[in-house]
Amino acid sequence: MIKSGTTTFSDMYIFEEETAQAANQAGMRCLLAKSSSTFLPQFKTPAEGLAYTEELIQRWADHPLVNIMVEPHSLYTCSPELLKSAKNLADRYQVPPVYTFLEIGGSETVERKIGKRATTSQGDGNCSTRGSLPFIAS
């Protein structure tokens, strides 16, 4: 990435602490998030995932290169409670909340899981995504 001129990257899911250390050592800016989910087995509970994210936020606070985001995985892998808790955590530390808004071909999955289209869930009080940065993944 450095050879191509990349100065900043974003990453989520696994090995965020190691990624932060590598970016710092390489002198690259990064935005990192440990994905939390209600249905994916990355942590025993969603609260455990958010607690880990909070540890990352505290450890890398005010770092000139490493920035931590709060990332509940997506509308269809998180309960409304997890989305609200994630947004509250992001607000408390004033860090960006992000989530996967929609994966290619996933619109039916979102409707089946949350009972509405992804676009109509924005900030409806049940999902607490207002003010979040949505990603579209392929």
| Cα 23-26-31 angle, rounded to 5 deg | 25
Q: Domain of 84: which CATH number?
A: 3.20.20.140
State the greatest distance between any 2 C-alpha atoms of the chain, in Å, as a whole number. Answer: 46
- 2 in any annotated domain: no
- What is the mean predicted confidence (pLDDT) over 49-64? 95
pLDDT digits (tens, 9 = 90+) for 101-111: 666 566 666 66
Rounded to whole angstroms, what are the CA distances from 49 to 16, 34, 37?
12, 8, 8
Edge-to-edge strand ranges of the sheet holding 29-33: 8-12, 29-33, 66-68
pLDDT digits (tens, 9 = 90+) for 77-127: 788 888 889 999 999 999 988 877 666 566 666 666 666 665 555 555 444
Range of the domain at 124: 8-137
- 36 in any annotated domain: yes
pLDDT digits (tens, 9 = 90+) for 1-42: 888 999 999 988 788 999 999 999 999 999 999 888 776 667
- 73 in any annotated domain: yes
| pTM across the whole model | 0.77
- Domains held by the chain: number: 1
**66 pairs with which residues across the strands?**
30
- 130 in any annotated domain: yes
